Amino acid sequence: MKKQHNYTVMHWGTWQVESSEGEIVAVKPVPWDKNPSRIGQSLPDAVTSQTRIRRPAVRAGYLQHGPASREGRGKEPFVEVSWEVALDLLARELRSVKARCGNEAIYGGSYGWASAGRFHHAQSQLHRFLKGFGGYTASTNTYSSAAGERILPHILGPLSPLHRQHTHFSELARECQLFVAIGGLPLRNAQVNGGGANDHMLQYWLDKMQANGTRFINISPVRNDLSAVPDAEWLAIRPGTDTALLLALSYVLIAESLYDQAFVASHTVGFAPYRAYLLGEHDGVAKTPAWAAAITGLDAQRIADLAREMARHRTMVNISWSIQRARQGEQAYWATVALTALLGQLGTPGGGLGFGYACTNLAGAVRKAFSGPRLPAGENAVDSVIPVARLSDMLLHPGETYEFDGQQRRYPDIRLVYWAGGNAFHHHQDINRLCEAWRRPETVVVHEQYWTAQAKFSDIVLPATTSLEREDIGSGGHDGFMIAMSAQIPPVGEARDDYAIFCDLAGRLGFGEAFSEGRDAGQWLRHLYEESRPRAQEEGIALPSFDDFWQQGVLEYSAPERPQNFSRRFSRRS
């Protein structure tokens, strides 16, 4: 593949890269990005940082004593070894665990976005490898929005498609009169997308909405959670009390007969017990503005007035992912759905509800969507799955039962943790408890680019390339762009891409051909791209040949005339 461009994609943006003699000298935002993130300017320093892992390394005690040595994890120095030694050691331990304990004893961690590229996506590569090896214990849910992911299918619909089908900002700019932001609309969060952010549009659209007269209310303990709208009203709520506010708003709508009785009758179930709960008929506690004021720290009169304003105006209620990241966090999402159902504005232009405007660069800005290039992962022969945030519980309490989504489940006995992409020590709760749990497995192996806390708490550390050191295809599938990502510099030190590592390891374990299907990385890129063309065609997107795409460097799909909107299914009027 002849390089005709110098693009790279990270989760926080797309850049043009300038390199010279094997070094990155500058990165520039692409011209179509309305508000590029400054994070990209760190790329030249990051790729050759002193913290880069340059050779395979094994914890000293593990190299000498094997899995019997666990207490030194996170404390002992590492010994650099050859790739041959590292992969032979890892292959031996994988075989041993499988033979003694079965594939359920292998946890395929790899939580995280890793690469914006679709082929060199560490999580996909690891899961394909472990499935080829016979399976593994997997995880479900996200740290970002797990409570919402579990409650919403029971009361409205799955979160992921809802997130992709938010009311488009263009419609909000035309029709929305009042935007109530529970948890704010922080610009800092909207810097990212799972497949790369190509055009940062939040500030642009908020400016449009303000210019057209939309009024914003920021309900958050933090004023600058809506810094993009300087004139927004700030209601400084106490952290963790959003559900009380939502219940009080619903109380006012019912007590003053401001709710949409026709919508409630035709589109909801369970109104009678909810009404009784709000009025205090069961527990003797009416969920009045005064009741909520004592909990939230907000003014009771302001709560009552806000409910009336929401009923009087075309209102969009947005609740951020942050609100549900707490014990009983699902209650705020449930209360938001109930409130917006009472307002009866679901399906109306510019009204309704949102779950994550500004949580990424995606919500409200989806363009033509199709399932882009993706690495086939195969089927997992092991049915053991844990909620991702129960990682420590699983390692500390093997064999114990727990309740999840209305079911009784059992924690597996994990002997080997395999992680590629992501960093549990960055996003998991209660790090001290995680440190204790992390010493329980016999073996911990990671693919990593930097000496992170997780790498230092591992036994076998394999150096991986960054996106700047390999060719890939950047595609989130929903933002209207596909980017040919060219390698800008050679691999740093002895780093290898995850695919090359797994090819070598699969060969040692007897399924190398099944894993690679006889393709090198470049051949996989071509294959995955060509395979995606029929899917694109089904969505009205005509993709050029792979060679033409690679030469052009950038593909942009036209935006649909009428973007997808999940709330239209509730519409009685337009």
Catalogue the active-site residues.
Answer: 111, 113
Query: 3-state SS of 40-59?
Result: HHHHHHHHCCCCECCCCEEE
Q: Tell me the C-alpha distance between 9 and 116, whole Å.
A: 6
- Cα 53 to chain centroid, rounded: 26
Bridge-based pairing of strands 233-235 and 460-463 is unpaired
Q: Which residues contact 516 (CB under 8 A, 6 or more apart)?
A: 503, 506
Number of neighbouring beta carbons within 10 Å of residue 449: 22
Q: Tell me the C-alpha distance between 357 and 179, whole Å.
A: 11
**With the CA atoms of 389, 391, 392 and 396 taken in that order, what torsion angle do they form, in degrees rounded to the nearest 10?**
140
Q: Tell me the C-alpha distance between 310 and 344, whole Å.
A: 11
Q: Tell me the C-alpha distance between 183 and 76, whole Å.
A: 42
Q: Tell me the C-alpha distance between 31 and 48, whole Å.
A: 26
3-class state of residue 90 by DSSP: helix
Q: Tell me the C-alpha distance between 528 and 526, whole Å.
A: 6
Query: For residue 238, what is the DSSP state?
Result: P
Q: Tell me the C-alpha distance between 411 and 218, whole Å.
A: 41
Q: Tell me the C-alpha distance between 19 and 22, whole Å.
A: 7
Q: Tell me the C-alpha distance between 337 and 343, whole Å.
A: 10
Length of the chain measured in residues: 574
CA angle 208, 212, 217 (to 5 degrees): 85
Please, what is the angle between helix 271-278 and helix 242-255, to 10°? 100
Counting DSSP H helices and E strands in the chain, the numbers are 22, 21
From residue 46, alpha-carbon distances to 14, 41, 189, 564 in Å are 16, 9, 21, 38
Contact between residue 342 and residue 260 where contact means Cβ atoms under 8 Å apart: yes
Q: Tell me the C-alpha distance between 202 and 200, whole Å.
A: 6
3-class state of residue 27 by DSSP: strand
Q: Which residues contact 38 (CB under 8 A, 6 or more apart)?
A: none
